[in-house]
């Protein structure tokens, strides 16, 4: 009987301690819930506001005029820079809210993880800028190469592929640079980058050698005649 009383007293004491700890932790839980709700609402509102302000600044029209929107549409992606930046603002604020929440709850490891995520967002923005510039530059170079090929009276069957190679070479360079900025298998990307440059150099050398061998032979013959004379 004494053992039963002792066990009962121990269980009651444990439950009392648990209840006291819960009551002591309750204000932190309530505070964290309030901060989370308010933070998510504010983040959503500011994200929409940022997207609307950027759209009013005609940024989407400017991006569309560069051909970036059309390039994404070709692969089935509806791209809007204003919505993308608004989404980034929203989730940056949500992550900041989560950092505050876990800090209130005193969960150190989660706080460090969320801080790393927040610090990673600038890399995402930089990668988007790099890829956008690459697409714009690729379209510009494609037009320049195509017009130069037409001015040189190169057949249209060759001018099209030549301009396409120039365009996609720049876009692939930009994509690789964006992946490096995101720290996605940086060593592998650098290896692919080096291999891609080597491939272009070899392809260019072969194309020049095979396509220009007649002119090269004529130039060497002329040089030989001048030397002998």
> Does 164 or 218 have the greater pLDDT score?
164
Q: Output the pLDDT for position 106.
A: 79
| CA within 13 Å, CB half, 206 | 6
> Does 93 or 190 have the greater pLDDT score?
93
The token pair that represents 161 in the structure block: 């592929």
Q: Output the pLDDT for position 90.
A: 92
Residue 209 vs residues 212, 213, 222: alpha-carbon distances, Å: 5, 6, 18
- pLDDT confidence of 163, banded at 50, 70, 90? confident
pLDDT, averaged across the chain:
76
Question: Which of 98-106's residues contact partners 24+ apart within 8 Å by CB, and which partners?
Answer: 98/36, 98/39, 100/35, 100/39, 101/32, 101/35, 101/36, 101/39, 102/32, 104/28, 104/31, 104/32, 104/35, 105/28, 105/29, 105/32, 106/28
Instruction: Give the model confidence (pLDDT) of 132-157 as tens digits.
Output: 888 888 888 888 777 777 776 666 66
Per-range mean pLDDT, top range of 4-13, 91-100, 190-199: 91-100
Contacts of 77 (CB under 8 A, 6+ apart): none
- In this model, does residue 223 exceed pLDDT 70? no
- pLDDT confidence of 6, banded at 50, 70, 90? low
Tell me which of 40-44, 77-81, 179-183, 193-197 is least confident: 193-197
Q: Output the pLDDT for position 120.
A: 84
Q: Using CB atoms within 10 A of its CB, is residue 51 exposed (0-12), middle (13-18) or buried (19+)?
A: buried
Tell me which of 17-26, 111-120, 160-169 is least confident: 17-26
pTM above 0.85, yes or no: no
SS3 assignment for 23-37: HHHHHHHHHHHHHHH
């Amino acid at each position: 009987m004494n053992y039963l009383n002792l066990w009962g007293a121990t269980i009651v004491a444990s439950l009392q301690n648990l209840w006291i700890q819960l009551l002591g932790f309750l204000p932190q839980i309530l505070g964290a819930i309030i901060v989370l709700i308010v933070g998510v609402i504010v983040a959503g509102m500011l994200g929409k506001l940022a997207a609307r302000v950027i759209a009013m600044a005609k940024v989407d029209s400017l991006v569309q005029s560069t051909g970036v929107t059309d390039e994404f549409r070709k692969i089935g992606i509806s791209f809007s820079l204003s919505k993308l930046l608004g989404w980034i603002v929203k989730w940056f604020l949500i992550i900041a809210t989560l950092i505050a929440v876990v800090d209130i709850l005193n969960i150190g490891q989660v706080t460090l993880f969320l801080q790393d995520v927040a610090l990673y967002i600038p890399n995402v923005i930089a990668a988007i800028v790099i890829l956008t510039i690459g697409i714009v530059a690729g379209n510009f170079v494609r037009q320049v190469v195509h017009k130069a090929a037409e001015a040189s009276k190169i057949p249209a069957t060759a001018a099209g592929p030549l301009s396409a190679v120039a365009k996609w070479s720049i876009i692939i360079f930009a994509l690789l640079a964006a992946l490096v900025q995101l720290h996605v298998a940086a060593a592998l990307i650098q290896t692919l980058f080096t291999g891609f440059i080597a491939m272009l150099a070899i392809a260019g050398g072969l194309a020049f050698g095979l396509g220009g061998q007649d002119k090269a032979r004529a130039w060497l013959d002329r040089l030989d005649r001048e030397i002998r004379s």
